[in-house]
Amino acid sequence: MPLHQPPGVAIRAMERHDADQVLTIYQQGLDTGHASFETTAPTWQEFDAAKLDRHRFVAIDPTAEPSSNVLGWIAASPVSDRCCYAGVVEHSIYIAPHARGQGVGAALLAVFIASTEADGIWTIQAGIFPENTPSLRLHTKAGFRTVGTRQRLGRLHGRWRDVVLLERRSPTIL
């Protein structure tokens, strides 16, 4: 996966002042019905408490107003507080509707992988609905493998949904 950004896109650490745009993009992704079992984005306080500080990034359009320049974001949570899983995280990635399909997700994921690997995180996992073709493609291209499909794992709007479990085991952390 290339580490370069698409033209007109810059990637930087997520900051507190990005909160409104991050949560708006989160909600737009949830509204697709193919991103998560959640239907409502968390508050910033909930988001901030759940996500690891060191591996939160936003993609921005550097030419846009700061109040409307965020194109997408990526962040992760630990999967467990057991010390044997200290290097295992589960991430979320959400791109604004107008910026999807232009390589922004791929660029954010590449930066996130490099950041987590440099910090000793050895496994990144993701649960993706089988209907979410763009996300499956994005992650497979970034080196994630399909562990398996968890059947009828939960209900979204009353309908049972399968979830594909993917993981990327760092080849550099031995």
Q: Which is nearer to ligand COA, 22 or 106 (CB)?
A: 106
Q: Which of 5, 8, 48, 100 binds ligand COA (CB under 6 A)?
A: 100
Q: Which of 23, 60, 70, 105 binds ligand COA (CB under 6 A)?
A: 105
Measuring CA to CA, how many Å separate 153 from each of 37, 123, 159, 162?
Answer: 10, 22, 10, 6
Q: Which of 93, 111, 113, 124 binds ligand COA (CB under 6 A)?
A: 93
Site residues for ligand COA, 110-139, by CB under 6 A, read 126, 128, 132-135, 137-138
Tally of CA atoms within 13 A in the half-sphere of 112 that contains its CB: 32
Q: Which is nearer to ligand COA, 77 or 120 (CB)?
A: 77
Does 95 bind ligand COA (CB under 6 A)? Our answer is: yes
Q: Look-up: residue for tokens 């999807």? A: 100
Q: Which residue is nearest to ligand COA (CB)?
A: 105
Residue 118 has phi, psi (to 5 degrees) of -65, -20
Q: Which is nearer to ligand COA, 5 or 170 (CB)?
A: 5
Does 94 bind ligand COA (CB under 6 A)? Our answer is: yes
Does 77 bind ligand COA (CB under 6 A)? Our answer is: no
Q: Look-up: residue for tokens 């550099």? A: 172
Q: Which of 99, 145, 127 is nearest to 38 (CA)?
A: 127
Strand partners, 58: 12, 73
Q: Which is nearer to ligand COA, 5 or 173 (CB)?
A: 5
Does 58 bind ligand COA (CB under 6 A)? Our answer is: no
Q: Could you tell me how many residues of this chain bind ligand COA (CB under 6 A)?
A: 23
Q: Which is nearer to ligand COA, 87 or 103 (CB)?
A: 103
Q: Which of 23, 106, 111, 113 binds ligand COA (CB under 6 A)?
A: 106
